[in-house]
Amino acid sequence: MFVVEVDRENYEYDVHSLVKAFYPEEQVSVLIPEMREEKKEQLRKLSRMRIRLSEEGAEILLDGKEYRWEWQDAEQGGEGREKARKDGFKRFLYRTLKEVTGRVLPWGNLTGIRPTKIAFQMLEEGKGNQEILERYRVRHDVTREKAELAVEIAGRERALLASVGPGGGQEEGYSLYVGIPFCPTTCLYCSFTSYPVSVYRKDMDSYIDCLIREIAYAAERYRDRRLDSVYIGGGTPTTLEAGQLERLLASVRERFDCSTVKEFTVEAGRADSITKEKLQALYRQGVGRISVNPQTMNQNTLDIIGRKASAEQVEAAFYLAREVGFDNINMDLILGLPGEGEREVQHTLDRVVEMAPDSLTVHSLAVKRASRLNQWVQENGVSMLQNTDGTMRIAAEGARRLGMVPYYLYRQKNMSGNFENVGYARDGKLGLYNVLIMEEKQTIVACGAGSISKRVYPDGLIKRSENVKDVSQYIERIGEMIERKRVLLED
């Protein structure tokens, strides 16, 4: 265990994120003054790194060597003093860890999920690309390649958001999310709240009944607002039977004015849940965008991660969707899966290019504490997860071969190689909902167990309301879920 002592609160998230990025094989714990005394005593014995912060700067003691940083008011750069001090400290911590380990992180000292936020805001302020690139380099030690990617994507995001109305809050428009928290099986890397369909089959009709009640309330409450996009996610929505899918989607179309909807997406996802009847039900109900997600086209890896569909089943499901009439199909891939290197990733991309989807979402594997992958890593070692510059470039080149451009990007904790997730798409196929949910520029009304509604106000304020995650509790407490939504939407 790698224990870090920090003598001031509100720095622990950044410290943990950066230390974990430099020492991915270690379990990192951050000891802060607010911890219980018995916990502090237990961790202090394992302390390897100590950080002392003061008004003058900071000191880091790591492996018996001391590093110092002196705070300069000139570093404030027009920002709030405390934020500027924290940014300065992150630069100091990053450069110290870089010197000690000899490693360079592609995103430098950035620790949030939205590295494009800087470029987005600066473009909104009228700043030029070179000034933005310099900000990434000087203040955040981001590599030139990643900084240019952030600027490119931020430009596309702004153009896409302009299609749904003006400014923060998007007051006239909103989007609808409907959650189906069932899956055929739980994949090795997954930490999302999902339930095995084999166990919950008897509850699925009741769940849909409750979901339709919640949808009906949302439609009535927002009847005077413009619906821009609909996203049915999960879980795996196609674990529902064809008739159940049709009933759910028909309820959305009956209750909402869908004439303004620019994008209607359903995550078909798992090939072992896709049938022709289900695809036809989606198509009849006006769904325009679906996903068929292999994650990898290497059968050995599919077996390891618990994806029951074979690579051949993925191809069959994809071509079946084309046959039904879908002309906007996304495929998700994950880089850094157990035992996969450049050869395996190249094999996956070659097969995906042959299928020619319309968009491609490339994820860097994130080791979630609640996933079975976390235990797998402890048993097999983090060295088995090999996401690299090389594998990321193979994926980007595959997207280019398909005529796609990058249009959205985000990061997660504990990502293999400290890289990012990138969405690529062909012209005219950029996923609107993906950008809306990531940039938090529009209200998202979310229905279903475990879903989170977000109310975005014109001044940028965001309020959230969460539904209970457990399916049985959701069914029992649907009235309470609707009341929570009423409080949020009528505020």
Give the amino acid at 439: E
Over the stretch 322-364, which tens digit does the pLDDT of each residue have?
A: 999 999 999 999 999 988 999 999 999 999 999 999 999 999 9
Over the stretch 431-486, which tens digit does the pLDDT of each residue have?
A: 999 999 999 989 999 999 999 999 999 888 999 999 999 999 999 999 999 999 99
Residue 484 vs residue 184, higher pLDDT = 484
Question: How would DSSP label each residue in 29-41?
Answer: EEE-TTS-HHHHH
The secondary structure of residue 469, as a DSSP letter, is S
Residues 179-200, mean pLDDT to the nearest whole number: 78
Among 41-55, 149-163, 200-214, 287-301, name the one with the lowest average pLDDT. Answer: 41-55
Instruction: Spell out the long-range contacts of 299-305 with Cβ–Cβ below 8 A and sequence spacing 24 or more.
Output: 300/339, 301/337, 301/338, 301/339, 301/340, 301/344, 304/188, 304/337, 304/338, 304/339, 305/187, 305/188, 305/189, 305/337, 305/338
Q: What is the pLDDT, as a whole number, of residue 167? A: 45
Residue 142 vs residue 234, higher pLDDT = 142
Q: What is the pLDDT, as a whole number, of residue 75? A: 53
Q: Write out the H or E segment, with its range, that includes residue 25.
A: none
Residues 424-429, mean pLDDT to the nearest whole number: 96
pLDDT exceeds cutoff 90 at 126: yes
pLDDT exceeds cutoff 90 at 292: yes
- Confidence bin at 171 (pLDDT 50/70/90): low
Q: What share of the chain is helix, strand, coil (3-state, %, to 5)?
A: 45, 20, 30
Over the stretch 354-409, which tens digit does the pLDDT of each residue have?
A: 999 999 999 998 876 666 676 776 767 666 677 889 999 999 999 999 999 999 99
Q: What is the 3-state secondary structure (H, E, C) of 60-84?
A: EEECCEEEEEECCHHHHCCCCHHHH
3-state SS class at 336: coil
* Cβ atoms of 338 and 384 closer than 8 Å: yes
